[in-house]
Structure formats: C-alpha cells, structure tokens
Amino acid sequence: MDLNKWISVDTTIENKLHIIYEKHMNSVHNLTSIKDKEEFFVKHYLDSIYIFNIYDFQFKTVMDVGSGGGFPGVVIALFYPESTVYLVESIRKKCDFLVELVRDVQLKNVEVINSRVENLKEPSCDLIVSRGVGKIKNILNWTTGVSRETSCWLFYKGENVFEEIKDANKLLKKKNMRFENVRVENPFKRTYTIINYI
Ligand SMILES: C[S@@+](CC[C@H](N)C(=O)[O-])C[C@H]1O[C@@H](n2cnc3c(N)ncnc32)[C@H](O)[C@@H]1O
C-alpha cells in the first residue's frame, strides 16, 4: 500500500510504519484483528492521520485515550515529531507492548501512561483524541482533568455518531462547546467528530 497516494509520507516514517506492522504481527498480545498489510495501512495508519491533512489542528501536546495497540496516537507522534504525545491505556500488558514499540521505532516524543484516563489530573493537553473507546459524552467527562479551556477533542466515529452527539448535547451546551463532523468515504469510511470550546 503506497500511502503517498493519499498523504505525503517520507521514507523515514514509511520504514517505521513497516516496523510497527511487523511488531503487531509478531506480538503475542494480538492487539489487532487486521492481519492483511494493505488493510492495516488503510484502517490503522491512514485512518489515524488522514484528518490532519484536511483539518488544521493547533497543538503541541496530544493525549490518545485508550490507545490499545497505538492508534491513533503512535501515528500522530510519527507525523508530528515536534509534538508530545501521551498514550493513555488502562491495561498494563498493552502498555508494555506500547513501551516496547515506541522504543523500537525510536519515538522520542511519546510517553505511555498506564491509567484509566478519568483518574488523571495531568498533563493537560491541547488535543485529546480517541478511537474505539467510548461514547463522546463519557470521554468528555473522563478527560476533564487533562483538558483546559483551549483544548480540542477529536473522536474517530462512524455514521451513527449523531446518536452520541444527541446524548452529549446537554453537556456540550453546559460547557459552551460546539461540534463539527468531517465524513470520509474513500479509501475508508469514517466520521471524524471535532469538539471545541466556543
Ligand atoms: C477497542 S480498544 C481501541 C484501541 C485503539 N484506540 C484503536 O482504535 O485501535 C479500546 C482501548 O481503550 C482502553 N480503555 C478503555 N477505557 C479506558 C479508560 N477509561 N482509560 C484508559 N484506557 C481505556 C482499553 O483497555 C482498550 O485497550
């Protein structure tokens, strides 16, 4: 899979993406059901980073809530080496995998935090991202301690996101927040939901 068809990837990053794929395939932890390389590149890598090419996020610090096998946080860290990315994951063995992964691809801008996010009071981050972890309303509540008035949230969702937004509407109003959806149909299907303070 040549990601350059969709986004610009230099050879250093590309090499690291291949290493990460191999690490996943050789891991006993089985953190992904996707084994096909092309599918892995689209559904994990491209999905993680695509929105950054079409939406202008301003950030120095990023928190990936429920990072699992490292998506989207590890990919964001690779493409934005000047930022600091915190991978928050509640399961210890997944954190062990992430620590090893980060070491093997020499990602100097990543810190792995073994905790439930709702137990954290710091670090407060500019951008909070989350894929496949929980409902928007819950994650907004869980990340109160690691956000500030200028923080932005990026959720990786599907077509049924409007149900979740409806559910979070009261909270969004109370916190004076607004949402925006960016829908992608090709080469994968995704609704990216971006939430900001007004
Ligand atoms: C379905 S996996 C998604 C992993 C990854 N984000 C992805 O999309 O491939 C959800 C992960 O979130 C973690 N998780 C769930 N609730 C969490 C919480 N409150 N704080 C931190 N991690 C959490 C789980 O342990 C699990 O690894």
Q: Count other Cβ atoms within 10 Å, centred on residue 197.
A: 14
**From the centroid of its chain, how far is CA 70?**
8
Give the pLDDT confidence score for residue 30 in this predicted structure.
85
- Distance between Cα 15 and ligand 1 center (Å): 26
Closest-CA residue, ligand 1 atom 27, reads 68
Mean pLDDT of 96-125: 97
Using alpha carbons, list the distances in angstroms from residue 151 to 28, 60, 160, 185. 36, 11, 24, 27
**102: phi then psi, degrees, rounded to nearest 5:** -60, -40
Kindly tell me if the per-residue pLDDT of 116 is higher than 80.
Answer: yes
Topology of domain 3-197, per CATH?
Rossmann fold (3.40.50)
- Distance between Cα 104 and ligand 1 center (Å): 22
Kindly tell me if the per-residue pLDDT of 176 is higher than 90.
Answer: yes
Give the pLDDT confidence score for residue 110 in this predicted structure.
98
CB 194 within 8 A of CB 180: yes
Record the pTM.
0.97
117 among annotated binding-site residues: yes
Q: Can you give the residue ranges of every domain in the chain?
A: 3-197
Strand partners for 113: 88
Query: Mean pLDDT across the chain, nearest whole number?
Result: 96
The Cα 111–Cα 100 span in angstroms is: 12
Q: What is the pLDDT of residues 189-198, one digit of tens each?
A: 999 999 999 9
Give the pLDDT confidence score for residue 81 in this predicted structure.
97
| Collapsed DSSP state (helix, strand, coil) of residue 104 | helix
Q: How confident is the model at residue 2 (pLDDT cuts 50, 70, 90)?
A: confident
Give the pLDDT confidence score for residue 95 in this predicted structure.
98
Q: What percent of the chain has pLDDT over 70?
A: 99
One DSSP character per residue, 65-100 reads ET-TTTTTHHHHHHH-TTSEEEEEES-HHHHHHHHH
Higher pLDDT, 90 or 30: 90
Closest-CA residue, ligand 1 atom 8, reads 131
Q: What are the strands of the beta sheet with 61-65, ordered from one edge?
A: 110-114, 84-89, 61-65, 127-131, 152-157, 190-197, 177-184
Mean pLDDT of 184-192: 96
Q: What is the pLDDT of residues 51-101, one digit of tens each?
A: 999 999 999 999 999 999 999 999 999 999 999 999 999 999 999 999 999
69 among annotated binding-site residues: no
Closest-CA residue, ligand 1 atom 24, reads 66
Pocket of ligand 1 contains residue 89 by CB under 6 Å: yes
Q: What percent of the chain has pLDDT over 90?
A: 94
The residue type of 85 is V
